[in-house]
Amino acid sequence: MIAEFALAALWLAAALAALQLIGGALGVRGGGGEALAALVRPAAVVQALLCALAFGALLLLFARTDLSVALVANNSHSAKPMLYKITGAWGNHEGSMLLWVTVMALSGGLIALVERRLPERTMLATLAAQAFVAIGFYAFLLLSSNPFTRLVPAPADGAGLNPSLQDIGQALHPPTLYTGYVGLSVAFSFAVGALVTRQVTPEFAKVMRPWVLGAWIFLTLGITAGSYWAYYELGWGGWWFWDPVENAALMPWLAATALLHSAGVLAARDALRAWTIMLGVVAFSMSMIGTFLVRSGILTSVHAFAVDPERGTFILALLAIYIGGALVLFAVRAGTVAEGERFSVLSREGALVVNNVALSAILGIVLLGTLYPLLTEAFGVRVSVGPPYFNPVGAIFFLPMLVVLAVGPLLRWRRDRLARVRGPMLVIAAAAVVALLVAWWTSGIGLLPLLGMMMAAAVAIGSFLPLRGRSLRRVPLPVWGMCLSHFGVAVALFGMAADSAFQTERLVAARVGETAQVGPWSITLAAVDPVAGPNWTALSARLQVRYDGGATRLLEPQARSFWAPPQQTTEAALLTRWNGQLYTVIGGEAPDDASGTSRWQLRLWWKPFVTFIWYGGVLIALGGASALVGRVVGDVRRRTARGRIEQRRVEGFREPAEALA
């Protein structure tokens, strides 16, 4: 019953999206459509509720392990911890597409509910655009990826969930990422709405900015969490693999970061109008391309795509309609967007233009690198593209961007003089040089980590220099947010550079009682025991680890075997110190040594400051959050003040003194 009910809710939501599109379109055209236009906002809100209901129903079906539903039977198992039964709901294609659509409906509903600052016509066009995109994905979900299909007869038990996904990281990371990913649909819709109604104004940028910021915060957290999940769950000791699935999340983040900064220019200075619109379109296009890459099966093989073309072709068609349509609209209307205000090269705007161009270039580089293997495979040549491409080529644009990141926030809007900022610039340069010399002196590290260390120091200092000479109590929250985010970039960069420069790795076949050294750690294999969990058995090593002769701590890495589905995973055991992480993995049994004693394969890493990568990511998101809070609080305060003043006016200036205060 629940499944049928949820399916009906989805169909109803799709119908409401159609109503929202028609009502919005009529409202924009004007002349007779006002009755329908009045339904647009309620339609968006009810749609959000229906989708939330359908998603809730799917969670319930998974929690109960209702095996008469095909999706549950294929992806769940009754002998699974409750948490992973529920998170299994989005650990598969159909469930994650339902999550996608739900997030899209929720963000549409939210702007319909609270956003009243823009002209109503622009809002109607925005909501119509949101509905137009939603309809395509409702169609995809209902016609080719129905999560509520029944299975007759119901099997005795389910097929189980991939054990790598049975993890708390998997529980949190996809919803966070999707919220950011699909939240960008709002930016897309706002951009389309502003273009259609010719309202590319600073006011529009001010309205769009908090929504982009919200999506960007989730995207940042999602990528950070995903990176950490891959790091400890896969047992490979790496935190970024330039895997197409990772790139699919990184590309919208790059575009959203650029959009955030250009929207800032538009809001503050009424410049970069057309460019901001373009980025709004590009950001969500990257989300859709990412969805296509991940969901079409094309990543496994171009041939896998050809074997089961329905889903892939469907998303590809949606991509063509939405991205193509938006670009055509842009081409037609961009000419009517008047030029923005002028600014000098040496100005805040100038620095932000560099930021935008560099981010776009990196985006292009990542996009090309991700699509290249697909392209060559179509011509029968198989290649893979990895760090040797992405790292140096990305760095060519990333490093200059960091220079501007350190200096740009010091500059004034519109026009500035070099003499005015010479002092702080010298401080930044000094920090960079000192860091470079120290890093170079203490170790012979590679060029990229060396430059990374240098820029981390420059950006760390530069990020707080805009606060100099200001009364810290009166610095607005968004400025604190900017400083915090920029500092987060420095922290993450330092972590990346330190990890790639200083990590040490040992691979040993150890007898019980044997001690191995990795970096400052001495690690003794105390025992290897068989252990069992709810749906797995494992080999568990007991490692006694000591840092530089300090206290002994115990680590227990495991090699687990799951039986539903039958698969093995390595559970790394990590020990975190302020200055890095010890990362231990147990492999299998190695052949006996010469004397016939059994040995076990251990892989040990000492990763100095690796945790800074994720601390940095969290700081970046935290900076975004404080900026968002600052903006929303400021807006609410302005609104209530305006409301109060108007009310006083109505009451006949009875308390003029208070109204002024």
Phi first, then psi, for residue 221 (nearest 5°) are -65, -40
339 or 658, CB closer to another protein? 339
Q: Which residue has the tokens 């299994």?
A: 88
Nearest to 174 by CA among 103, 235, 108: 103
148 or 343, CB closer to another protein? 343
Q: Is 530 in the site for another protein (CB under 8 A)?
A: no
The rounded distance, in Å, linking the Cα atoms of 480 and 154 is 56
Q: Is 601 in the site for another protein (CB under 8 A)?
A: yes
Instruction: Give least dist CB 387 to another protein, A.
Output: 9
87 or 92, CB closer to another protein? 92
> How many other CB atoms sit within 10 Å of the CB of residue 346?
17
Residues composing the chain: 661
User: Which 318-347 positions form the footprint of another protein (CB under 8 A)?
Assistant: 339-345
Residues in contact with another protein, counted by CB under 8 A, come to a total of: 60
44 or 271, CB closer to another protein? 271
User: Residues 444, 534, 549, 566: which binds another protein (CB under 8 A)?
Assistant: 566
Nearest to 96 by CA among 14, 178, 171: 178
Q: Is 533 in the site for another protein (CB under 8 A)?
A: no
Q: Is 587 in the site for another protein (CB under 8 A)?
A: yes
Site string (292-311) toward another protein, x via CB under 8 A: -------xxx-xx-------
First to last CA, the chain: 59
Instruction: Give least dist CB 571 to another protein, A.
Output: 13
Q: Is 524 in the site for another protein (CB under 8 A)?
A: no
Nearest to 354 by CA among 397, 317, 385: 397
Q: Is 438 in the site for another protein (CB under 8 A)?
A: no
Q: Which residue has the tokens 């010890």?
A: 582
Amino acid at position 192, single letter:
V
Phi first, then psi, for residue 576 (nearest 5°) are -100, 130
Question: DSSP string of 498-515?
Answer: HHHHH-EEEEEEEETT-E
Instruction: Give least dist CB 513 to another protein, A.
Output: 15
Site string (385-404) toward another protein, x via CB under 8 A: xx-xx--xx--xx-------
Q: Is the distance from CB of 63 to CB of 86 less than 8 angstroms?
A: yes
The rounded distance, in Å, linking the Cα atoms of 152 and 62 is 17
50 or 72, CB closer to another protein? 72
User: Which 503-522 positions form the footprint of another protein (CB under 8 A)?
Assistant: 507-509
User: Residues 169, 369, 481, 630: which binds another protein (CB under 8 A)?
Assistant: 369
Nearest to 581 by CA among 543, 545, 610: 610
The rounded distance, in Å, linking the Cα atoms of 536 and 569 is 10
In sequence order, what are the residues at sequence separation of 6 or more whose Cβ sits closer than 8 angstroms to the Cβ of residue 430? Answer: none
User: Which 259-278 positions form the footprint of another protein (CB under 8 A)?
Assistant: 275
Q: Is 287 in the site for another protein (CB under 8 A)?
A: no
376 or 579, CB closer to another protein? 376
User: Residues 358, 428, 501, 582: which binds another protein (CB under 8 A)?
Assistant: 358
Site string (155-184) toward another protein, x via CB under 8 A: -------x----------------------
Instruction: Give least dist CB 590 to another protein, A.
Output: 4
Q: What is the side-by-side strand order in the sheet with 580-590?
A: 504-511, 599-608, 580-590, 573-577
The rounded distance, in Å, linking the Cα atoms of 326 and 337 is 15
Encoded tokens for 632: 């929303």
Q: Which spans of this chain sit near another protein (rule: CB under 8 A)? A: 162, 275, 299-301, 303-304, 339-345, 353, 356-358, 360-362, 364-365, 368-369, 372-373, 376, 381-386, 388-389, 392-393, 396-397, 415, 507-509, 565-570, 585, 587-588, 590-591, 593-594, 599, 601, 603
